[in-house]
Amino acid sequence: MFNPALVNRFRQLETPFYYYDLELLKATLKACADASFRHHFLVHYAMKANFNPRVLDTIQSFGFGADCVSGNEVLAAISHGFKKEKVVFAGVGKSDKEINLALDQDIFCFNAESVQELDVIDQLASAKNKTANIAIRINPNVDAHTHHFITTGLEENKFGINTWELPAVAEKLRQCQNLNFLGIHFHVGSQINDLSVFQNLCLKVNEMQAWFQGQGFEVKVLNVGGGLGIDYFLPDKNSIVDFESYFQVFKDFLQINPNQEVHFELGRALVAQCASLISKVLYVKNGLKKNFLILDAGMTELIRPMLYQAYHQIENLSKSGSQEVRESESLGDGKVESQAPSTINHKPSTHYDVVGPICESTDCFRTDVELPESQRGDLIAIRSAGAYGEVMASGYNLRDRVQAVYSEE
């Protein structure tokens, strides 16, 4: 990803910044578009993963819809050219202001997450003399086998409507004059590399659509959410997700009736690999038991390692040929082994705890990282940071807002 000319360019810039490889983003979007169009599947980009303006413009240009979780995301999607009739609005806690805004924008569909929310949308739509399209987000109680902080489809999670509440939902849908039932929606979690999770989800979706049909409802839309994972261990080898295999699972296991639309809400799989957080070594601290590389980026720029114990590959760009690689390859089925990586380089290497400058002990990207001997001023890349990176940056410690730099400049 980083040739010498690019590293030279980085040297002229103030760090830290997110570097976006827009060519890789486009290649990823094309792979996803090709694989989904083949089955007539419709993909909404989950904007929460990254709403950087250049990223949004690029994704929109491929014709994807937008999956939004706030009123501001709805407005941003539309102002970046996403078609209103391709905007869906999810979230367990939509405020009245946000619902009104989405009604005014005539978006495609609300993914409703509680019986009470149905009442509120109905009342607000009635006041505007409008009808709101509704998909019912069902909590399918399917285990995503991912980190518990990013699991959403279990009964213990706050998301969606549990199956025992569905009779009340059906009753409410019959009563509410200003709601138009479109279909059912699911999302079981994020960073899912085991495709059998999606297979299990399909079986649940089939069961649920049969239930609604049995109640006399026409189910026009099956929205199966997002969650497809990426390879954080081998970002160069597996820079683009195997979208073909992913969509094939739904083709094989979902019962799709004629004229029914199948919708997806992918975030991470579209944007994660296209960005790296580029930072500089401020200080090298050698302790008795540990050596620290203190970077000018920290949890204020990328919080995933601190919040979810997430693994990101770390490279010293100032030492050529010093790329971290995993000793074992990714498994063929998309699962990755959690074995520690080693470093291929011809220079002496050292183990470092790679940390940020923030006044919190948890401000550590990774411990015991094998890197070539590093020094003040070296450029460090933290890879696969395009999803839930820049958008989760904060102003804690009154830090400067992290900048973005693009390949096309």
Closest to ligand LLP by CB, 142 vs 317, is 142
Q: Is the backbone of residue 368 left (phi > 0), alpha (psi -120 to 50) or beta?
A: left
Beta pairing partners, 17: 278, 403
Q: What is the CA radius of gyration of the chain?
A: 23
Instruction: Tell me the two tokens of residue 270.
Output: 């579209």
Residue 241 interacts with ligand LLP (CB under 6 A): yes or no: no
How many CB atoms sit inside 10 A of residue 236's CB? 13
Residue 235 lies near ligand LLP (rule: CB under 6 A): no
Residue 308 touching ligand LLP (CB under 6 A): yes
Complex with ligand LLP: residue 49 or 371, whichever CB lies closer:
49
| Nearer to ligand LLP among residue 68 and residue 176 (C-beta) | 68
Which C-beta is closer to ligand LLP: that of 150 or that of 369? 150
Helix, strand or coil for residue 275? Answer: strand
Q: Which stretch binds ligand LLP (CB under 6 A): 16-24, 34-42, 239-247, 265-273?
A: 265-273
**Phi-psi map region of 173: left, alpha, beta (phi>0 left; psi -120 to 50 alpha):** alpha
C-beta of 46 vs 299, nearer to ligand LLP: 46
Closest CA to 15 of 337, 303, 317, 230: 317
Question: How does DSSP assign 80-113, residue by residue?
Answer: TT--GGGEEE--TT--HHHHHHHHHTT-SEEEE-
Q: What is the crossing angle of helices 96-104 and 71-79, to 10°?
A: 20
Q: Is 94 in the site for ligand LLP (CB under 6 A)?
A: no
Does residue 24 interact with ligand LLP by CB under 6 A?
no
Among 65, 267, 298, 372, binds ligand LLP (CB under 6 A): 267
Shortest distance in whole angstroms from residue 128 CB to ligand LLP: 25
- Residue 227 in contact with ligand LLP, rule: CB under 6 A: yes
Strand pairing category for 109-112 and 132-139: parallel
Considering the complex, what minimum distance in angstroms separates the CB of residue 4 from ligand LLP? 31
Nearer to ligand LLP, 49 or 179 (CB): 49
The residue (of 212 and 243) whose beta carbon lies closer to ligand LLP is 243
Site for ligand LLP in 97-136 (CB under 6 A): none
Could you tell me the smallest distance in angstroms from the CB atom of residue 14 to ligand LLP?
26
By rule CB under 6 A, what string of x and - marks binding of each residue 31-50 to ligand LLP?
Answer: ---------------x--x-
Can you read off the two tokens belonging to residue 389? 């990176």
Q: Give the separation between CA 302 and CA 388, rounded to whole angstroms.
A: 8
264 phi/psi in degrees, rounded to 5: -125, 155
Q: Which amino acid type is present at position 101?
A: L
Work out whether 311 is an interface residue with ligand LLP (CB under 6 A): no
Helix, strand or coil, per DSSP, at residue 131: coil
Nearer to ligand LLP, 172 or 304 (CB): 304
Q: Which two tokens stand for residue 309?
A: 């114990």
Q: Report if residue 65 touches ligand LLP, rule: CB under 6 A.
A: no
* Nearer to ligand LLP (CB atom), residue 70 or residue 191: 191
Determine which residue in the list 94, 172, 187, 280 makes contact with ligand LLP, applying CB under 6 A: 187
Q: Which of 94, 263, 268, 399 binds ligand LLP (CB under 6 A)?
A: 268
Look-up: residue for tokens 């957080």?
A: 277
Of 94, 172, 263, 304, which lies in the binding site for ligand LLP, with binding defined by CB under 6 A? 304
Q: According to DSSP H, which parts of 254-385 are helical?
A: 268-271, 304-308
Q: How far apart are CA 35 and CA 244, in angstroms?
A: 5
Candidates 25, 32, 59, 90; binder of ligand LLP (CB under 6 A) is: 90
Which CB sits closer to ligand LLP, 267 or 334? 267
Two structure tokens written together for 211: 């239930």
**Among 202, 201, 191, 280, CA closest to 233:** 191
What does the binding site for ligand LLP look like in residue numbers (CB under 6 A)?
46, 49, 67, 90, 150, 152, 187, 190-191, 225-228, 265-269, 304, 308, 387-388
